[in-house]
Amino acid sequence: MTAKHFIGNAWISNGDIIYTKSPSDQSQICDYHKGSQSTLEDAIHSARTAFESDQWKSRSRLRAQFLIELADGIRSVEEQLVLMITSESGKVISQVRHEVKAAINECIYYAGLSRAQFGRVAEFDSGQQSLFTREPIGVAAIIVPWNAPATLLIRSLAPAVAAGCTAVIKPAHESAGSHGILMQCIARCSSLVPGAINSVNDGGIAMSQMLVSHPEIDVISYTGSTATGKKIMEAAAGSLKRLSLELGGKSPAIIFEDASIDQAIDEIVRGAMPHSGQMCTAIGRVLVPKNLHSQVVALLVNRLSELKIGHALSSDSQIGPLINEAAAERYSKFVDQAKKDGEMHLTGERLDSDQFGSACYVSPTVASIDDVNHSLVQTELFSPFLLVETFVDKDEAIHRANSTTYGLSASVYTKTTKWAQRAARQIKAGTVWINCHNRLMVEAETGGYRTSGLGRLHGVEGLAPFLETKHIYSEFGEW
């Protein structure tokens, strides 16, 4: 398969052909066409024309039907899509199966919401009427990373469609083949109005950079790192675009002294290691009372050393490789830094033996660092790296949990309801799980406080980035 651009319901094969690689074995996976400025201009023009035509934005039943068709379409290629995402992202296949099911579920949820949007009417004084309508904002730019190419695309696209927006998508180049399969599903939907959804591949970031400052884009729905989110905010300022930013995180897990330690360790191992720690909500910090430190460290080391590292397509692998050489090198530097400044409990290393070839497999790290201002505590490491920190009382636990600039998610482990509820309210994060981690669901809003983002996706609020509210006022006076 060669992944092409999709513009105005036509496949466009302009641009040099490059290919994606498997992080698991470095093999060539999928060819794709690289975009150009003129291809991007065509895609934006196509989305604008479709938006202004009224064929899409005024027909909520049609858009709901499209989302149902898309759910069916993804289901019909589920196994092909699972294999492609696994190959391109290096995420182990069991986790990818879950991701694809979540994307299907997302389409169905927003198909319902597409048909369930109403305005409001108010009469603030006699003889007056205020009508509040919700209108789609216009053309949405959707920019997504490689780490969950199905869920993260549909999580932005489905509410954009439900709201009545048209879209230009810029996928991550690392997962161009996975995105190509999703675009084929979109193209097969008979209810898609030509031009309503367009997609342009990129060999790097050039297309994205043009997209985020383009005057014909009304809203940017971006998922990716905080550093890029800041650049996008700057680039979008010129035309004052609406921004929905889903950015990085550094999730803390607080174990209180009365917690069920075994249950907490189970959840923390599962919550820290999905996709080798390359997940925005992955636990990066474990906060424990001083007297539980050695017990928790021993259990974590034990469990993490047992995880089976291997090819993402192998059904018994629990940890796959990091995405690329740059990520593996960055990880080695983090480990070296921790050796210098912290206490090592499990020292992660590059596994480049005969068994692993030249791919980027690394084993997990567990280290303790006391200094809350240390860069390893403050930075998103996006790798299988767990820091253990200690606290003397609950206030210090909360203070530590809130001490990075991130605020995406957190979890709290305790048998005492009031501790759990108090902690959940005091932690500055968009999601706090109690006695579990990473229970993401389409009905529940997700998003970040502080440098983890702006706005929410999922749930009813997921529609908000794509809608404007209009007040229509009339006076009808006396008899």
Interface segment toward ligand NAD; rule CB under 6 A; list 15-23, 129-137, 143-151, 291-299: 143-151
| H-type alpha helices, 90-175 | 93-114, 149-163
Among 88, 246, 267, 389, binds ligand NAD (CB under 6 A): 246
**Interaction between residue 231 and ligand NAD (CB under 6 A):** yes
State the amino acid at position 95 in one-letter form: Q
56/222 with CB nearer ligand NAD: 222
**Interaction between residue 383 and ligand NAD (CB under 6 A):** no
- In degrees and rounded to multiples of 5, residue 210 shows phi and psi of -70, -40
**Residue number of the CB atom closest to ligand NAD:** 224
Yes or no: say if 189 and 70 are a contact pair by the CB < 8 Å rule.
Answer: yes
Yes or no: say if 109 and 460 are a contact pair by the CB < 8 Å rule.
Answer: no
- Collapse the DSSP code of 12 into the 3-class scheme (helix H, G, I; strand E, B; otherwise coil) and give the result: strand
**Interaction between residue 248 and ligand NAD (CB under 6 A):** yes
372/440 with CB nearer ligand NAD: 440
Minimum CB separation from ligand NAD for residue 348, in Å? 19
Q: Which residues inside 170-199 make contact with ligand NAD, applying CB under 6 A? A: 170, 172
**Interaction between residue 209 and ligand NAD (CB under 6 A):** yes
| H-type alpha helices, 310-404 | 325-341, 375-378, 394-401
**360 is annotated as an active-site residue:** no
Please count the residues of this chain forming the interface with ligand NAD, following the rule CB under 6 A.
Answer: 29
Which residues have C-beta within 8 Å of that of residue 10, sequence separation ≥ 6?
none
65/151 with CB nearer ligand NAD: 151
d(CA 350, CA 359): 10
d(CA 479, CA 282): 65
Cα Rg of the chain (Å, integer): 23
Catalytically annotated residue among 280, 360, 380, 389: 280
Yes or no: say if 430 and 449 are a contact pair by the CB < 8 Å rule.
Answer: yes
**Interaction between residue 32 and ligand NAD (CB under 6 A):** no
| H-type alpha helices, 18-148 | 37-52, 60-76, 78-89, 93-114
Task: Point out which residues pair with 246 in neighbouring strands.
Answer: 223, 453
Interface segment toward ligand NAD; rule CB under 6 A; list 106-114, 137-145, 298-306, 410-418: 137-145
DSSP states of 195-221 as a string?
TSEEE---SSSHHHHHHHH-TT--EEE
Minimum CB separation from ligand NAD for residue 95, in Å? 13
**Interaction between residue 314 and ligand NAD (CB under 6 A):** no
**Interaction between residue 380 and ligand NAD (CB under 6 A):** yes
**Interaction between residue 205 and ligand NAD (CB under 6 A):** yes
- Give 193's DSSP letter: P
50/457 with CB nearer ligand NAD: 457
**Interaction between residue 454 and ligand NAD (CB under 6 A):** no
Catalytically annotated residue among 106, 174, 246, 267: 246
Minimum CB separation from ligand NAD for residue 202, in Å? 6
Other CB atoms within a 10 A radius of the CB of residue 80 amount to: 13
**Interaction between residue 431 and ligand NAD (CB under 6 A):** no
**Interaction between residue 22 and ligand NAD (CB under 6 A):** no
**Interaction between residue 81 and ligand NAD (CB under 6 A):** no
Minimum CB separation from ligand NAD for residue 184, in Å? 20
**280 is annotated as an active-site residue:** yes
Yes or no: say if 135 and 47 are a contact pair by the CB < 8 Å rule.
Answer: no
Which residues have C-beta within 8 Å of that of residue 391, sequence separation ≥ 6?
287, 288, 289, 290, 397, 400
- In degrees and rounded to multiples of 5, residue 172 shows phi and psi of -75, 140
Which residues have C-beta within 8 Å of that of residue 333, sequence separation ≥ 6?
none
**Interaction between residue 103 and ligand NAD (CB under 6 A):** no
**Interaction between residue 208 and ligand NAD (CB under 6 A):** yes
**Interaction between residue 66 and ligand NAD (CB under 6 A):** no
Among 103, 167, 247, 423, binds ligand NAD (CB under 6 A): 247
Other CB atoms within a 10 A radius of the CB of residue 184 amount to: 18
Active site residues: 246, 280
Residues binding ligand NAD (CB under 6 A): 143-147, 152, 170, 172, 202, 205, 208-209, 212, 223-225, 228, 231-232, 246-249, 280, 380, 382, 408, 448, 453
